[in-house]
Amino acid sequence: MFESKDTDTSSTTSKNTQSLSFHSSNITPAKIDWQMDDTGNKVPVSGEFGDVYFSNADGLAESRHVFLAHNQLPERLTNLAPNQCFTVAELGFGTGLNFLATWQLWRQLRDIHPQLATAKLQFITTEKFPIPLTDLTQILALWGQRAPELTTLIELLLAAYPPLIAGCHRLSFFDDNLTVDIWLGDAAESLAKLANNSSSSHVPYVDAWFLDGFAPSCNSTLWADSIFAQMQRLSRPNTTAATYSCAGIVKRALQDCGFQIKKVKGFGRKNEMLTAIMLDTINLTDNNNGNNSKDTNSKDTNSKDITSYNNTSTAAPDNDSQSAKPTDNLPAHSIVIGAGVSGLLTAWSLANRGIQVTLLDKSAPLAGASGNPRALLAPKMTPIHHVDEHLHTMGYLYSSRLYRCLNVDAKKSGLVPIVEPTGALDLLMKANIGTEQIADYPDEMATTLSHEQAQTVSGLKTQDLSENLYLPQSGLVNPQALKDTILMHPLIHFQQVDVKSISETKESVCIEGSNEDKQTISISADNVVICAAFESHQLDKRIFDCRKIRGQLSWFTPTTEQLTILPKIPLKYSGYCALFTAQTGDAQLNDVVEQHSQFLLGASFIRNDTDIDIRTKEHQISRDKLVTAIPEMDSIIPTDISLWQGRAGIRTQTPDYHPIVGVLADSKRIWVMSAMGAKGYAIAPICAEALTDMMLGTFAPLSTAMLARLSPNRTRLQTPLT
Ligand SMILES: Cc1cc2nc3c(=O)[nH]c(=O)nc-3n(C[C@H](O)[C@H](O)[C@H](O)COP(=O)(O)OP(=O)(O)OC[C@H]3O[C@@H](n4cnc5c(N)ncnc54)[C@H](O)[C@@H]3O)c2cc1C
Ligand SMILES: C[S@@+](CC[C@H](N)C(=O)[O-])C[C@H]1O[C@@H](n2cnc3c(N)ncnc32)[C@H](O)[C@@H]1O
């Protein structure tokens, strides 16, 4: 008989898990029941599976014993080389307790070992039935009381916890050099999406697995062959695994996918648990031939005898062995060309992984399309069954988390906020989703307000607001504040250089260009990322020559009377408008009156026009768009537009509307991140993370299929625009 997660022999009834299979993009939140544990503490139980999330004896101690100690995390993390990244992958995020225990260990180790300052921890976890935030808050509040050392981490996790939408949600904790990728959806499907066909010389792999499904008798899906096949694909010699389960199918499956297993003392009432290590089959073969000096200290490492992996200290992974992750060839210095939102975010992602970045722009940071007074952070929506593979939604959620997290840092340093979390109301005049499809989304991501609520939040009086999309996590990004924060990173150095050419050798890249004094500048680095928007093609002809779409944004300073009647929240219709207060520093970038309210509206779309002069005609186009969509604005928005300010920029777009992110064909060192279309502030941050991961050989927060869709070398980009 299989054991339950908590007992050696269990009479737990197995529920019919077949009835719990849904479309992969539809997430079913966990149903939480409660019971008392052995020490009289309330502990959560899965309503679906009838099993406990963690041991009734002491979940935190169980986590530390089973997953941390028996993957040798204290030793392995301590021994990481500078800039080395260690990857943990977990099956079943549940309450996040394993993650919190790992995070706390990581913090402790980093506190006492200064050499870990630049090492990274990547925690990848999967969850098909995520716990709703309110339940999770309750569960973790109890842990906060029992284990005060977790309190701060619990707060940070809860603040970053994503809406329950299928797909990968990356949470970045920059101060701790920690990223967490929560893949919501079926674990086997999620693992299958992890890309390890890296375009760089570094291929991502998992260092340690936490196999923490409910007991196989309660839920077999996390112990299925498809899971173990993925484990095999994503592991390499010395990858370890640990699980509380000693069920026969687990032992056999681990062995069948190349792990050598060992039974050790389990936690609490459990006599046994399993640890495992992926065998180095090449060395094993050599060992058997008697011609390999690498001593695995096993009695018969090729056999599937579980007694053979019986000495943790000698069978544990060896960081110094030839199979240790090489950091020698990781790039140390990158050049990023173009300091718009793409270049800034690329520089930020690279610098946060310890790479020195020289950021170049021919004019100044934000000189191109990215330099508007404010950018609306909003997704292009999609029906929920596509959401997990929808760059705009996942990118928007990541951006929203990132900007809010940067706000916290900005506040601490007395700087202007990066995002004003206003929310936004879309009147669904140019949307590819209706209210029925919006209803499929969790309210914290997207919802439809009642007509009355919509009137209250917007301040509109006569408009029919019965159909709308309210985006609570939307907001107004302040590009100037974002730029200031990013440029403060000690590893990012900005230089004004108009880049004319890029040359690549086997060892390095070199750019040549001229500075503001027309002096020739040449800079070498390990690699280069071209973020020059529509001008990227001029720097390397392998980059698709994209569609160029001019856009002009307009704004004016409203009178006190207008202020009381202008929309109170950013609105989307066939264009968008928003009220904002110009902050200190804004006037360096645009003609705004600092500390005063400004009303912006836009934007025009003019194809194949790369002039950036300000046109009265386009102010008028934006005014017309607004009053056509919302007629009550006609009496509020001034008709005299002669005092309006504006800014024009060029959007860069591919024929398939996907950005271009990746390494160029036949190149090892020339990368590109471009074609952000009309949504750079929503999608550049996640694309920058994916690019950095591909460059460094760590797992990207986007699926293999998505990365292929973004590839600069994709088939759709082989035919030039006509
Ligand atoms: C009117 C308008 C309104 C918009 N509103 C929004 C919005 O509300 N929300 C949103 O998310 N998106 C919005 N967008 C889209 C968004 O602005 C773009 O997606 C984004 O700015 C693209 O960023 P980028 O960094 O790729 O390009 P850019 O910001 O154009 O940056 C490219 C940079 O490369 C530099 N460069 C080019 N060639 C060289 C060279 N040879 N050497 C050195 N440097 C070079 C340029 O000087 C420039 O600074 C809007 C766009 C426009 C035009
Ligand atoms: C024992 S709990 C994990 C406990 C968790 N590690 C913690 O620290 O709280 C098992 C988890 O696996 C999840 N799960 C069950 N089937 C799954 C599947 N097919 N794919 C992904 N997750 C699944 C459950 O919803 C549950 O949260």
**Residue pLDDT, tens place only, 132-184:** 999 999 999 999 999 999 999 999 999 999 999 999 999 999 999 999 999 99
pLDDT of residue 7: 62
Share of the chain above pLDDT 90, in %: 85
Ligand 1 pocket, residue 532 CB under 6 Å: yes
Question: What's the 255 CA to ligand 2 centre distance in angstroms?
Answer: 22
Residue 522 near residue 508 (C-beta atoms within 8 A): no
Inform me whether the pLDDT recorded for 23 exceeds 70.
Answer: no
Question: What's the 222 CA to ligand 2 centre distance in angstroms?
Answer: 8
- How far is Cα 46 from Cα 32, in angstroms, rounded to an integer? 5
Collapsed DSSP state (helix, strand, coil) of residue 547: strand
Give the CATH number for residue 537. Answer: 3.50.50.60
Ligand 1 pocket, residue 563 CB under 6 Å: no
- How far is Cα 528 from Cα 504, in angstroms, rounded to an integer? 9
- Candidates 64, 66, 81; CA nearest to 240 is 66
For residue 52, the ligand 2 atom closest to its alpha carbon is: 1
* Residue located via tokens 């008028």: 620
Residue 216, both tokens: 């196989």
Mean pLDDT score, 207-222: 95
Examine the domain organization and report whether 379 and 290 are in the same domain: no
Residue 344, both tokens: 């800034």
Asked if omega into 603 is within 30° of 0 (cis), the reply is: yes
Examine the domain organization and report whether 237 and 134 are in the same domain: yes
Tell whether 55 is covered by a domain. yes
Examine the domain organization and report whether 570 and 518 are in the same domain: no
Q: Which one of the ligands is nearest to 649 CA?
A: 1
pLDDT of residue 432: 83
Amino acid at 28: T
Mean pLDDT score, 124-129: 98
CA dihedral 106, 112, 116, 117 (to 10 degrees): 100
Burial of 42 (0-12, 13-18, 19+ CB in 10 A): exposed
Examine the domain organization and report whether 638 and 694 are in the same domain: no
Q: Which one of the ligands is nearest to 150 CA?
A: 2
CA 325 to chain centre: 23
Ligand 2 atom 4: residue of nearest CA: 94
Residue 268 banded pLDDT, cuts 50, 70, 90:
confident
- How far is Cα 553 from Cα 480, in angstroms, rounded to an integer? 16
Ligand 1 pocket, residue 649 CB under 6 Å: yes
Structural domain range at position 240 = 32-315
Ligand 1 pocket, residue 690 CB under 6 Å: no
Mutate to test the pocket of ligand 1, among 335, 361, 544, 661 (most ligand atoms within 8 A of CB): 361
Ligand 1 pocket, residue 531 CB under 6 Å: yes
Examine the domain organization and report whether 538 and 562 are in the same domain: no
Tell whether 5 is covered by a domain. no
Q: How many other C-beta atoms lie within 10 A of the C-beta of residue 67?
A: 29
Q: Please say which residue of 620, 638, 653 terminates a domain.
A: 653
Q: Which one of the ligands is nearest to 183 CA?
A: 2
Examine the domain organization and report whether 565 and 623 are in the same domain: yes
Largest CA distance in the chain: 90
Examine the domain organization and report whether 240 and 267 are in the same domain: yes
Rg (CA), the chain: 27
Examine the domain organization and report whether 378 and 523 are in the same domain: yes
Residue 430 banded pLDDT, cuts 50, 70, 90:
confident
Tell whether 11 is covered by a domain. no
pLDDT of residue 284: 52
Residue 478 banded pLDDT, cuts 50, 70, 90:
very high
pLDDT of residue 223: 97
Mean pLDDT score, 39-61: 91
Ligand 1 atom 41: residue of nearest CA: 499
- Candidates 386, 382, 436; CA nearest to 25 is 386
Mutate to test the pocket of ligand 1, among 396, 676, 710 (most ligand atoms within 8 A of CB): 676
> CA 233, 238, 244 angle in degrees (round to 5)?
80
What's the number of domains the chain is made of? Answer: 3
Helix (H) or strand (E) holding 403, with range, is: helix 391-412
Collapsed DSSP state (helix, strand, coil) of residue 534: helix
Examine the domain organization and report whether 179 and 267 are in the same domain: yes
Residue 303 banded pLDDT, cuts 50, 70, 90:
very low
Q: Which residue has the higher pLDDT, 169 or 8?
A: 169
Q: Please say which residue of 602, 623, 653 terminates a domain.
A: 653
pLDDT of residue 6: 60
Instruction: List, for residues 584-634, the tens digit of each pLDDT value.
Output: 999 999 999 999 999 999 999 999 999 999 999 999 999 999 999 999 999
Examine the domain organization and report whether 164 and 48 are in the same domain: yes
Ligand 1 pocket, residue 528 CB under 6 Å: no
Q: Which one of the ligands is nearest to 609 CA?
A: 1
Range in 200-214, 434-448, 681-695 the model is least confident about:
200-214
Burial of 464 (0-12, 13-18, 19+ CB in 10 A): exposed
Residue 65 near residue 267 (C-beta atoms within 8 A): yes
Question: What's the 647 CA to ligand 2 centre distance in angstroms?
Answer: 50
Residue 191 near residue 126 (C-beta atoms within 8 A): yes
Instruction: List, for residues 346-391, the tens digit of each pLDDT value.
Output: 999 999 999 999 999 999 999 999 999 999 999 999 999 999 999 9
Tell whether 3 is covered by a domain. no
Tell whether 701 is covered by a domain. yes
- How far is Cα 484 from Cα 470, in angstroms, rounded to an integer? 30
- Candidates 362, 357, 363; CA nearest to 344 is 357
State the angle between helix axes of 341-352 and 479-487 in degrees (0 to 180), rounded to the nearest 10: 30
Mean pLDDT score, 553-579: 97
- How far is Cα 345 from Cα 486, in angstroms, rounded to an integer? 8
Give the CATH number for residue 210. Answer: 3.40.50.150
Residue 174, both tokens: 């920059």
Residue 701 near residue 690 (C-beta atoms within 8 A): yes
- How far is Cα 514 from Cα 714, in angstroms, rounded to an integer? 32
pLDDT of residue 199: 63
Partners of residue 661 on adjacent β-strands: 673
For residue 366, the ligand 1 atom closest to its alpha carbon is: 49
Ligand 1 pocket, residue 363 CB under 6 Å: yes
Tell whether 137 is covered by a domain. yes
- How far is Cα 528 from Cα 669, in angstroms, rounded to an integer? 6
Residue 87, both tokens: 């990857």
Question: Within 6 Å (CB) of ligand 2, which residues are found?
Answer: 5, 30, 53-54, 92-98, 126-129, 186-187, 212-214, 219, 221-222
Q: Tell me the average pLDDT of the chain.
A: 91
Mutate to test the pocket of ligand 2, among 23, 127, 131 (most ligand atoms within 8 A of CB): 127
Tell whether 22 is covered by a domain. no
Q: Please say which residue of 315, 350, 379 terminates a domain.
A: 315
Residue 255 near residue 261 (C-beta atoms within 8 A): yes
Mutate to test the pocket of ligand 1, among 477, 535, 612, 650 (most ligand atoms within 8 A of CB): 535
Tell whether 165 is covered by a domain. yes
DSSP state of 620: H
DSSP state of 66: I
For residue 186, the ligand 2 atom closest to its alpha carbon is: 20
Question: What's the 533 CA to ligand 1 centre distance in angstroms?
Answer: 6
pLDDT of residue 280: 85
Ligand 1 atom 15: residue of nearest CA: 678
Question: What's the 399 CA to ligand 1 centre distance in angstroms?
Answer: 16
Residue 530 near residue 673 (C-beta atoms within 8 A): yes
Examine the domain organization and report whether 306 and 233 are in the same domain: yes
Give the CATH number for residue 600. Answer: 3.30.9.10
pLDDT of residue 326: 56
> CA 36, 38, 41 angle in degrees (round to 5)?
45
Q: Which one of the ligands is nearest to 215 CA?
A: 2
Mean pLDDT score, 526-539: 98
Question: What's the 168 CA to ligand 2 centre distance in angstroms?
Answer: 16
Amino acid at 577: C
pLDDT of residue 137: 98
Examine the domain organization and report whether 487 and 561 are in the same domain: no
- How far is Cα 530 from Cα 500, in angstroms, rounded to an integer? 12
Inform me whether the pLDDT recorded for 558 exceeds 50.
Answer: yes
Question: What's the 214 CA to ligand 2 centre distance in angstroms?
Answer: 6
Collapsed DSSP state (helix, strand, coil) of residue 706: helix
Residue 70 near residue 275 (C-beta atoms within 8 A): yes
Q: How many other C-beta atoms lie within 10 A of the C-beta of residue 595?
A: 11
In terms of residues, how long is the chain?
722
Mean pLDDT score, 465-491: 97
Question: What's the 368 CA to ligand 1 centre distance in angstroms?
Answer: 5
Ligand 1 pocket, residue 602 CB under 6 Å: yes
- How far is Cα 559 from Cα 605, in angstroms, rounded to an integer? 28
